[in-house]
């Protein structure tokens, strides 16, 4: 079965999971963990991404992110690629570090933010890294210690999360700790990490009800964690993007057609858009080409890198530059 496209937009809440290939460790020691967190701490403000919860376990990790103007895929590509290269150099190893691509689930905030923060931050207890909440309070590689005010992480959003638990900092932390304690016996919750049908429909009771009506597969999507209306809203927004891409392709828009439009806007010849060079006008044109090809037409970074004979990371940076150029100059692909 082909993989479904990722769902993302500014302001969307994501539960993100990464795992080591063949369940191997991706964090062997504190140096690895510190390296990963240093990279994350730099990239979050650069990509305008908000982090509400996180945890590092030897062979996997969880995060609760809200995307800003920069897509989640950009953050994760830069984070995971940079860390994997550093990890391989440090441990003198070669090859893939992570299992396939990272997993991301779009989440309905008002229903699931608190539950996801708790589920993510209780991972060290479920994994046997710590034995109780007191030890978890001091475990430095989990966002719980930051919410409790014990470990400072400037890049982790604390006040927003604690605002769900109380009006004052003291009262909020007390209520948050009580909420964590009440979830100690829950164990693994498949509906929060990949339950698909159950997760999207809002629980077994809803599933049973729809089965009786012969509608058991309605509103099911493994990429979304939320109630039916939320699922429908997210899919509708995604469909608008896909429909626009189909419309562009139906009108004959391909990489060459985009290059022609870029040439018109930047005042250079069409073949120069594809030619390599560090001249400012060429960099501007190629960046605009990459932005529209990836974000509007839907080309993959890999395919575009092959077409332009560039690295995938180079395409990623060009897309970001192109987005800023289009925004600042009010450029539109379609006249």
pLDDT in tens, 312-331: 777 878 888 888 898 888 88
SS3 142: strand
- Mean pLDDT across the chain, nearest whole number? 80
Residues 6+ apart with CB under 8 A from 252: none
Q: Where are the alpha helices (DSSP H) in 47-168?
A: 72-91, 109-121, 123-126, 133-137, 144-147, 159-162
If we measure between CA atoms, which residue out of 144, 105, 104 comes closest to residue 124? 144
- Please compute Rg for the chain using Cα positions: 22
At 223 the pLDDT is 54
Question: Does 207 score more than 80 pLDDT?
Answer: no
Question: Does 55 score more than 80 pLDDT?
Answer: yes
* Confidence category of residue 107, pLDDT binned at 50, 70, 90: confident
At 192 the pLDDT is 54
Measured distance CA(47)–CA(154) in Å, rounded: 15
Task: Give the pLDDT mean for 221-242.
Answer: 49
At 305 the pLDDT is 83
Question: Does 34 score more than 90 pLDDT?
Answer: yes
At 330 the pLDDT is 87
SS3 51: strand
Question: Does 299 score more than 80 pLDDT?
Answer: no
At 69 the pLDDT is 79
* Confidence category of residue 4, pLDDT binned at 50, 70, 90: very low
* Confidence category of residue 176, pLDDT binned at 50, 70, 90: very high
Tell me the pLDDT tens digit for each residue of 178-191: 999 998 887 565 55
Which class for 175: exposed (0-12), middle (13-18), buried (19 or more C-beta within 10 A)?
middle
Query: What does the block give as tokens for 194?
Result: 């990949």
Helix (H) / strand (E) containing 317: helix 312-329
Highest mean predicted confidence (pLDDT) among 245-254, 271-280, 281-290? 281-290
**On the CB side of 303, how many CA atoms lie within 13 Å of its CA?**
8
Chain-centre distance for alpha carbon 318: 19
At 227 the pLDDT is 45
Tokens 């626009």 correspond to 244
Domains and CATH numbers, the chain: 13-190 (3.30.70.1290), 195-246 (no CATH), 251-329 (1.10.1750.10)
Chain-centre distance for alpha carbon 55: 15
Query: What does the block give as tokens for 105?
Result: 């689930």
DSSP structure string for 200-243:
HHTSHHHHHHHHHTT-TTTT--TTEES-HHHHHHHHHHHHHHHH
Measured distance CA(252)–CA(254) in Å, rounded: 6
Task: Give the pLDDT mean for 52-72.
Answer: 93
Measured distance CA(271)–CA(287) in Å, rounded: 15
**More confident position, 92 or 335:** 92
At 332 the pLDDT is 86
Measured distance CA(258)–CA(334) in Å, rounded: 9
* Confidence category of residue 225, pLDDT binned at 50, 70, 90: low
60-69, 219-228, 297-306: least confidently modelled range: 219-228
Q: Would you tell me how many other CB atoms lie within 10 Å of the CB of residue 281?
A: 13
Tell me the pLDDT tens digit for each residue of 120-137: 999 999 999 999 999 999
At 3 the pLDDT is 45
Tell me the pLDDT tens digit for each residue of 237-256: 544 444 455 556 666 778 88
Query: What does the block give as tokens for 312?
Result: 């995938």
At 158 the pLDDT is 95
φ, ψ at 200 (rounded to 5°): -70, -30
15-19, 51-55, 171-175, 318-322: least confidently modelled range: 318-322
Task: Give the pLDDT mean for 216-231.
Answer: 47
Task: Give the pLDDT mean for 200-223.
Answer: 42
Cα–Cα distances in Å, from 50 out to 35, 40, 66, 68, 82?
Answer: 19, 11, 5, 8, 20
């Amino acid at each position: 079965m082909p993989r479904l496209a990722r769902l993302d937009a500014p302001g969307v809440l994501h539960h993100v999971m990464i795992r080591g290939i063949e369940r191997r460790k991706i964090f062997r020691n504190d140096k690895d963990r510190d390296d990963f967190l240093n990279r994350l701490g730099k990239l979050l403000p650069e990509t305008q991404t908000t982090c509400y919860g996180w945890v590092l376990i030897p062979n996997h990790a969880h995060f609760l992110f809200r995307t800003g103007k920069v897509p989640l895929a950009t953050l994760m590509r830069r984070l995971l690629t940079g860390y994997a290269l550093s990890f391989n150099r440090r441990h003198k190893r070669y090859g893939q570090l992570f299992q396939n691509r990272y997993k991301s689930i779009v989440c309905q905030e008002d229903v699931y933010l608190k539950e996801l923060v708790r589920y993510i931050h209780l991972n060290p207890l479920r994994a046997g890294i710590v034995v109780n909440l007191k030890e978890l309070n001091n475990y430095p590689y989990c966002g719980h210690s930051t919410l409790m005010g014990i470990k400072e992480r400037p890049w982790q959003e604390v006040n927003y999360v604690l605002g769900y638990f109380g009006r004052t900092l003291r009262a909020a932390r007390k209520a948050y700790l009580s909420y964590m304690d009440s979830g100690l016996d829950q164990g693994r919750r498949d509906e929060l990490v990949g339950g698909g049908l159950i997760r999207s429909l809002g629980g077994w009771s809803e599933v049973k009800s729809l089965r009786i009506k012969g509608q058991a597969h309605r509103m099911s999507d493994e990429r979304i964690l939320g109630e039916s209306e939320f699922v429908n809203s997210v899919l509708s927004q995604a469909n608008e993007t896909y429909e626009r891409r189909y419309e562009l392709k139906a009108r004959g828009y391909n990489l060459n057609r985009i290059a022609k439009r870029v040439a018109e806007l930047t005042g250079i010849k069409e073949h120069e858009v594809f030619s390599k060079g560090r001249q400012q006008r060429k960099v501007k044109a190629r960046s605009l080409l990459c932005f529209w090809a990836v974000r509007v037409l839907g080309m993959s970074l890999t395919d575009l890198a092959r077409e332009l004979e560039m690295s995938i990371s180079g395409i990623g940076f060009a897309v970001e530059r192109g987005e800023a150029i289009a925004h600042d100059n009010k450029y539109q692909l379609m006249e």
